[in-house]
Structure formats: C-alpha cells, structure tokens
Structure 1
Amino acid sequence: MATVFSAERREKSGKGPARALRREGKIPAIVYGGRSEPVPLAVPFKDIKRELGTNPRFFSTVFELDFGGERLKVLPREVQLHPVSDDPLHVDFLRAETGATITVEVPVRFVHEDQSPGMKRGGVLNIVRRTLELVCPADGIPGEIVIDLAGREIGDSVHISQVTLPAGVRPTITDRDFTICSIVPPTVATETKAATGEAGPAS
C-alpha cells in the first residue's frame, strides 16, 4: 500500500510565499508529466524529511498525494536541499498514471555470496553497477533487482542479459550487454585497489 502525503494546491510562487509555507511546516512542490498541466502544491515538511531519511528507495517509490479526498499517484524526481542542514526545500513529483512508463534508478542487491565457489576460493566481488536505470510501468516499479551469486566462479561476470527482469521492465541501455558485476582473482583486486587508492573491492 502506497504511503500517502496530504497536499494542498498553492496559488502563489516565489521566495516570499515559499518561506511562508515553511514557517507553517510545509514545503512547496510541483507535479508534472502525463497529459495534464503542472500542478503547484504544498506538502508537509515532516513527511518528506522522514521519507528521505528512512527510505533508501525514495526516488523509486510511488506515493499518493491526497487533495482533500482526491488521490494522485506520483514518483519523486528531484528534491532541493538546504546547503547546510540538508532539509528539503522543494520537491518535484512526476505523475505515475496507470499505463504510463517511467525511467527510474533501481538498486541492485547481491545474494548467496557464501554459495559462490569462486568467492570461497578467495575471489572478490567486483561491483560495476550498484543501480540499474530501468524503464518500468508506473504501477510496477521493482524495489530492487536481485543478483544470485550461487555457483559463480572466479572469472565469471553477470551481464544484463542474464538477469530476469519483472514483466514490462527493460533497461534503458539496449545497444550492449553491459556488465553488472564480476568475480575477480584476489591479485587483480589488490592491484586495482593499489592503482585507485581504494580500500574496498574495485568497482
């Protein structure tokens, strides 16, 4: 079930009205996209602050805005933050209308490292992409893409063509079979870390 934010339409724009909204515990926002005109609105500061701080998938999560009983599904696209406090100052939402498709960054999660023969023999997981840019149905955005490392040997790579994506979901990159991760020998990982000055596995 989608998280619901209360919302109200705002008639005035500019720095003065925005400051007045913030004094009331709200922040200015806008909804755009789809077949309708952009809608300026105000949403509760505390709700946006909470979601930004606790939801790592904030920008790939569909929320609902409640305009006095009328609800609209939206996807956060951009949040303007205060340069010192990191408090949200303004939010851009994209309409997530049924039947529409949306391009989003979806996190990748790697599982069953303990079932990888290559990693048991000292191989190192080299993560090339921690997120995937995907075109998804507005009502079918995956929370994450899981990569199973069971059975992977040193020298194995996982390419996008080997990943089963949910129905209706496709990568934005279609002209090459790009790599998501590989299992490299420990000597390669060490050389890469020395060359880049990184403390963790090469990425």
Structure 2
Amino acid sequence: MKFVAFERSTQGTGASRRLRNAGKVPGIVYGGEAQPQMIELDHNALWQAVKKEAFHASVLEMELNGQTSKVLLRDLQMHPVRQQILHVDFQRVSAKTRLHTKVPLHYKGEEESPAVKLGKALISPVLTEIEISCLPADLPEAIEVDLSKLEIGATLHLSDVALPKGVKPVLHGKNDPVLVTVVMPAASSESEDEAPAPAPAADQPTAE
C-alpha cells in the first residue's frame, strides 16, 4: 500500500491542534540511519487507509518530498469520542533487517471440522494475532489457520500451524500458546431420554 506524507516544520500542542482543524494528522517517522522526521498526512485519506487490515500488518510505501521509503505503522492515536486520528507513528524498515511486528490470524474451515460438523461443538479463538519476526519481503498480511481437521476435545497450539517461509514466532516466554479451543455446548436441561413419565390414568368406575 502507498500513501503520501508531507514534511511538517512546526510542533507542539498548538501547532498540532491547528493541523487537525485543517483536516491534517500530525505524525513522525523514525528508524533506520536517518533522523526522526515530523510529518503530516491528509486525515480523510489516512482514515480510509486505516480501515484496511493490510495497512496495519504490511510494509507500506511512503512518499515524502518526492522520495519513496518503506515503513511500518507503529502507533495510531484515536480521539476517545470522535472518529478522528490524533497522531500517527511510522518506522522505517530496511530490506536486510528483520522486523518484529504483529499479524492477524485468519481462521478458516471451522464449519467443515469434525468438532462442528459431527459434534456440534463451538470453536473459541483464544488469539486473534501473533507477534512474528521476519525480513520485510517475507512479511505476510495475515496468517491463515486451517480448522477443518479439528476434532472434539482438541486444542490447537501455535506449533500445529505451518508458518509462512521466513517467518518465526516471537513467544515472550510462552513455549506454545493456544490459538483455539473446542467447547461443547451446554447440555439441555431436559433431554428426550429424561422426559417425565406420563401421568397414570385415572381409576375407571366399576360396574355394580
């Protein structure tokens, strides 16, 4: 994805407020061999971009002063009430330097799994994203997780998923985190086998 940024010469609370009133978003780009640089972006264009998942989990091309560089979105500050972006941070990336970033997990095949199809179980995601390490060229927009083989009573761990080439998980002390669990629905309070017995027939009057 590509976007256009503009050099920002002023800083401070007052300057940022004026930018926002003019439909701009203050930001900064840092990392690499260059010094951190203050930037500004068009709010409407940025608002449309952040709605796309790829903008949060892929290497972006930023055009600034006629030059294009590769960056990652690192922080996005939102207004607590209004639909407004207050500030944005980007990090420059190098083709030869490994990245540490989070990518979303896309689960598929749930309805075809034995757990759901035969056992009427519920599959409950535990994680919706994971942190990974990879070179920029190997960064996936998302990691697909196939649930079509999931059995009743099973638990899917990260080690059960084949990660894309060049991608390694960043575990932070967790050896093998759980991705999804299989949950059986609560049993009905009264099953057919436990239906109450019919009431006994009333005594018939006897003939005299």
Instruction: List alignment gaps of at least 5 residues for structure 2.
Output: 188-208
Match of 1:51 in 2: 49
User: Partner residue of 2:3?
Assistant: 5
- The residue number in structure 2 matching 1:143 is 141
Greater Cα radius of gyration, structure 1 or 2? 2
Q: Quick one: which amino acid aligns to residue 181 of structure 2?
A: S
User: d(CA) in 1 for partners of 2:108 and 2:3?
Assistant: 34
**If the length of structure 2 is used for normalisation, what is the TM-score?**
0.80
> Residue in 2 aligned with 1:70?
67
- Partner AA of 1:5 in structure 2: F
Q: Tell me the residue number matched to 1:26.
A: 24
In 1, distance between residues paired with 2:54 and 2:3? 16
1:20-68 deviation line (CA, Å, top 9, x unaligned): 323443221101122321111111111111112x213432132222123
Range that drifts further, 20-29 or 88-97: 20-29
Query: What are the equivalent positions in structure 2 for 1:174-193 lying under 5 Å apart?
Result: 175-187=174-186
In 2, the alpha carbon distance for the partners of 1:92 and 1:80 equals 9
> Would you say the 8 A contact 1:59–1:104 is kept in 2?
no
TM-score (norm 1): 0.82
- Aligned residue pair count: 185
RMSD across aligned positions (CA): 1.9
Structure 1 letter corresponding to 2:182: I
Q: Equivalents in 2 of 1:153, 1:68: separation in Å?
A: 55
Structure 1 unaligned residues grouped into runs of 5+: 189-203
Identity %: 34
